[in-house]
């Protein structure tokens, strides 16, 4: 019988206190693994180009609000900008910004409403949204068809699952803002997106023309609508109106509704790879103007992760490290306190021929088994916790969390626990090593 087998039997004899001390290590490791894995998934989703567009254009204001609402649907959308601005930016941006070429893609986004059932965000857009990749080298796959009628809708996989909707189902939408009410118009589902692991899974997309055709969405008087446009474009207003009327306006954008009454929440812009510098140039030019802002979504999210989320995750990891250290101290106290009860047992072992080094090794083995065993259990519980929490995170954020995702820091976790076990087991083992045999047997 080797020292680990003897140590294991000793732990079994003190089952309750040993289990509690090992469990305290497991809980600390569980929290650390859960935080590391969750942070790793969120970090990958937000930082590794989870979107295949170069810029998100919207009303000047908060960059985080613009990106979080347009890409991740985690924020209330910013104030809208005129539809005419989208037309010019898509067809001839040089009217605003001299020398800037037309983009490869400019997709309008309107937001603010939700589904009546499930409260999922509504995004009004054109079919171009689905012909572009939602992430680099990742294209949409749709069960059904694309938009053909104004009141067609394409829904994400999570929306379909949660609401039990399929092709042909109809739904109404809840008007956002202060005067929340249900719109009378009904949208028919013509397509269901295959799971993407993004916010698109929990979004219901409706045809842009249908969104504009909703009675409450175009009740602003034409005079008031033109006044707002004029405020936005300033002295350029007449020139922009005259030029924009030359641009093609297809029925997908609600051609029957006066352009002045239409607005967009954001515009997703993409340039060809050979024009790598154009997005940053356009973003820089817009900062000098007053019409709108163009932000790189990946840069904004990287900044957000570094400034806020990363620091919060680091703080939690530091706390869990402290929990594990406290658990290690608990193991030290548990083993050390048991030494007085085990003095006679150690004396007998020594009398039967056990060497001092053997007794020392047995106590060290106990400490290692408690720390290492607790650590292994903690790793399993940590991934189990992520497994249980993954559906909740996905439902709230649309981010697919793989419980089998492995963080590189986990490689250092178990070796660190071995070091901790050696430190906390050394003093009790040394006490056992120095036990006087004759005195222990007499006691």
Which sign, positive or negative, has the C-alpha torsion 116, 117, 122, 125?
Answer: negative
Tokens of 410: 């986990």
Which sign, positive or negative, has the C-alpha torsion 281, 282, 287, 293?
Answer: negative
Please tell me the predicted confidence (pLDDT) of residue 267. 95
Encode pLDDT of 198-239 as tens digits.
889 889 999 998 898 887 776 677 888 888 888 888 888 888
Q: At what angle do helices 356-397 and 15-47 cross, to 10 degrees?
A: 40
Distance CA 224, CA 184 (A): 25
pTM, to two decimals: 0.73
Say if strands 81-82 and 292-295 run parallel, antiparallel, or are unpaired.
unpaired
Largest pairwise CA distance in the chain: 108
* Cα 267-272-273 angle, rounded to 5 deg: 120
Distance CA 233, CA 214 (A): 26
Encode pLDDT of 364-381 as tens digits.
888 888 888 888 898 889
Instruction: Give the phi and the psi of residue 25 in degrees, each rounded to 5.
Output: -65, -45
Encode pLDDT of 227-277 as tens digits.
888 888 888 888 888 888 877 765 456 667 888 888 999 999 999 888 878
Q: At what angle do helices 410-433 and 15-47 cross, to 10 degrees?
A: 160
Please tell me the predicted confidence (pLDDT) of residue 399. 67
Please tell me the predicted confidence (pLDDT) of residue 405. 75
Counting Cα atoms < 13 Å in the Cβ hemisphere of 27 gives: 12
| Average pLDDT of adjacent 10-residue blocks, the chain of 443 residues | 79 80 83 80 66 88 88 86 90 85 92 90 93 89 89 93 93 80 90 89 92 78 85 84 76 70 92 84 78 86 74 75 77 73 75 80 86 87 85 69 74 84 83 74 63
Please tell me the predicted confidence (pLDDT) of residue 348. 79
Taken as a whole, the chain contains a residue count of 443
Which sign, positive or negative, has the C-alpha torsion 367, 371, 374, 377?
Answer: negative
| H or E stretch at 99 | none
Please tell me the predicted confidence (pLDDT) of residue 36. 80
Please tell me the predicted confidence (pLDDT) of residue 302. 78
Please tell me the predicted confidence (pLDDT) of residue 125. 93
Please tell me the predicted confidence (pLDDT) of residue 409. 78
Distance CA 430, CA 434 (A): 6
């Amino acid at each position: 019988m080797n020292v680990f087998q003897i140590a294991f039997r000793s732990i079994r004899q003190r089952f309750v206190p040993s289990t509690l001390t090992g469990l305290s290590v497991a809980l600390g490791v569980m929290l650390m693994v859960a935080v590391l894995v969750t942070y790793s998934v969120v970090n990958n989703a937000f930082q590794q180009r989870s979107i295949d567009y170069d810029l998100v254009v919207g009303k000047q204001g908060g960059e985080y609000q613009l990106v979080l609402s347009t890409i991740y649907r985690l924020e209330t959308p910013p104030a809208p900008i005129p539809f005419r601005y989208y037309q010019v930016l898509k067809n001839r941006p040089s009217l605003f910004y001299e020398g800037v070429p037309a983009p490869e893609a400019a997709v309008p986004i309107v937001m603010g409403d939700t589904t009546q059932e499930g409260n999922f965000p509504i995004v009004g857009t054109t079919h171009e949204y689905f012909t572009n990749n939602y992430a680099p080298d990742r294209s949409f796959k749709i069960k059904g068809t694309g938009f053909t009628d104004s009141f067609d809708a394409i829904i994400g996989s999570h929306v379909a699952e949660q609401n039990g909707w399929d092709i042909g189902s109809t739904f109404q939408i809840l008007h956002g803002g202060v005067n929340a009410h249900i719109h009378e118009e009904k949208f028919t589902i013509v397509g269901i997106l295959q799971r993407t692991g993004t916010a698109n899974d929990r979004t219901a997309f409706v045809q842009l023309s249908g969104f504009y055709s909703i009675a409450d969405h175009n009740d602003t008087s034409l005079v008031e609508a033109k006044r707002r446009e004029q405020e936005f474009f300033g002295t350029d207003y007449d020139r922009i109106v005259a030029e924009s009327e030359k641009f093609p306006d297809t029925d997908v954008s609600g051609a029957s509704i006066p352009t002045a009454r239409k607005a967009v929440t954001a515009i997703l812009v993409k340039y060809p790879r050979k024009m790598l510098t154009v997005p940053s140039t356009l973003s820089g030019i817009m900062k000098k103007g007053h019409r709108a802002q163009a932000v790189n979504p990946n840069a904004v999210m990287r900044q957000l992760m570094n400034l806020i989320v990363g620091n919060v995750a680091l703080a939690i990891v530091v706390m869990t490290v402290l929990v594990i250290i406290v658990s290690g101290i608990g193991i030290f106290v548990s083993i050390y306190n048991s030494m007085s009860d085990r003095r006679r047992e150690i004396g007998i072992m020594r009398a039967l021929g056990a060497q001092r080094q053997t007794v020392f090794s047995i106590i060290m083995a106990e400490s290692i088994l408690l720390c290492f065993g607790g650590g292994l259990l903690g790793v399993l519980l940590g991934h189990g916790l992520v497994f249980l929490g993954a559906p909740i995170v996905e439902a709230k954020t649309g981010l697919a969390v793989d419980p089998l995702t492995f963080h590189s820091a986990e490689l250092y976790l178990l070796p660190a626990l071995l070091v901790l076990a050696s430190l906390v087991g050394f003093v009790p083992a040394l006490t056992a090593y120095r036990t006087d045999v004759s005195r222990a047997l007499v006691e």
